[in-house]
């Protein structure tokens, strides 16, 4: 299923396998001035490609290699002959077959590898210049795009909400905090995230998230230094894992978040 919303010159394209899926299962791509940011999921790749006919599509960028951001690459290249770009650390991951958990295939589908080229420091559309901002906390090859003249910040999976309680095993929460502080310093006027709604004047939301993560990380480290186990810290701060952790085979869990904040400490 595809739904769209127009935000000035930016078209948001939301995709999901089923319309009644919870909002966390929807993924957003953005089209502005011929530049497409992320290409969505495999289950909607053909529909997504057909939708973009006559939409002035010139090139695309993948914010990172995860399957919910790259899965229409091959279809768009075959249909429209466009070039697609990603951070150099993401290129090989996107260009080869993916290894997925069963829940990933069920929710988003298996991406057909395309041919992605490495990004430089900027990518240009006909009328705009987008600075490539490395944000490696979520993935080493994750990037944001910043269009300074309008204050547009396309943030991929960096921003989800102001109080995240779960993360992947590969997420580096201290680096994510640094990434958020970096994009906050750019003073973006509009935040275009992949997993959630567009945020106008996002300074307050970013400040809230940054403060939350700072305090959470400090609390986790403090409890660990007092001799609390990882599991005990998780129970004290977050309580039991919810169904999302079980559904994703513990790939999205509060325990992962505790471990990430303690990655430079002796974890017991």
pLDDT in tens, 69-111: 999 999 999 999 999 999 999 999 999 998 998 988 988 899 9
Cα separation, 193 vs 206, in Å, equals 12
Q: Is the pTM of this model over 0.75?
A: yes
Question: What angle separates helix 173-185 from helix 203-225, to the nearest 10 degrees?
Answer: 150
Q: Are strands 35-37 and 27-32 parallel, antiparallel or unpaired?
A: antiparallel
Q: Are strands 10-15 and 27-32 parallel, antiparallel or unpaired?
A: antiparallel
Question: What angle separates helix 203-225 from helix 230-237, to the nearest 10 degrees?
Answer: 140
Give the containing element (helix H, strand E) for 78: helix 73-80
What residues have CB less than 8 Å from 89, skipping those under 6 apart? Answer: 140, 141
DSSP assigned state of 167: B
pLDDT at 267 over 50: no
Identify the architecture of domain 2-161+173-203 in CATH. 4-Layer Sandwich (3.60)
φ, ψ for residue 20, nearest 5 deg: -95, 10
Task: For the chain, give the mean pLDDT.
Answer: 94
pLDDT in tens, 140-189: 999 999 999 999 999 999 999 999 999 999 999 999 999 999 999 999 99
């Amino acid at each position: 299923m595809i739904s769209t919303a127009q935000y000035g010159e930016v078209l948001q394209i939301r995709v999901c396998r089923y319309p009644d899926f919870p909002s966390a299962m929807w993924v957003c791509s953005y089209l502005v001035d011929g530049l497409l940011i992320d290409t969505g999921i495999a289950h909607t790749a053909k529909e997504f490609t057909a939708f973009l006919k006559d939409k002035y599509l010139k090139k695309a960028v993948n914010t990172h290699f995860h399957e919910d951001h790259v899965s229409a690459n091959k279809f768009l290249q075959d249909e429209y002959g466009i070039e697609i770009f990603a951070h150099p650390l993401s290129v090989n991951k996107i260009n080869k077959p993916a290894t997925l958990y069963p829940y990933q295939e069920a929710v988003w589908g298996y991406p057909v590898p395309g041919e992605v080229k490495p990004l430089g420091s900027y990518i240009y559309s006909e009328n705009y210049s987008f600075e490539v901002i490395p944000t490696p906390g979520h993935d080493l090859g994750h990037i944001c795009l910043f269009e300074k003249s309008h204050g547009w910040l396309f943030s991929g999976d960096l921003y989800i909400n102001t109080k995240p309680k779960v993360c992947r095993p590969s997420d580096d929460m201290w680096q994510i905090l640094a990434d958020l502080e970096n994009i906050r310093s750019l003073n973006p006027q509009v935040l275009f995230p992949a997993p959630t709604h567009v945020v106008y004047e996002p300074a307050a939301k970013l400040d809230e998230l940054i403060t939350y993560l700072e305090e959470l990380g400090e609390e986790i480290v403090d409890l660990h230094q007092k001799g609390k186990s990882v599991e005990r810290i998780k129970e004290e701060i977050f309580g039991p894992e919810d169904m999302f952790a079980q559904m994703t085979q513990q790939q999205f869990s509060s325990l992962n978040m505790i471990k990430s904040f303690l990655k430079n400490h002796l974890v017991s």
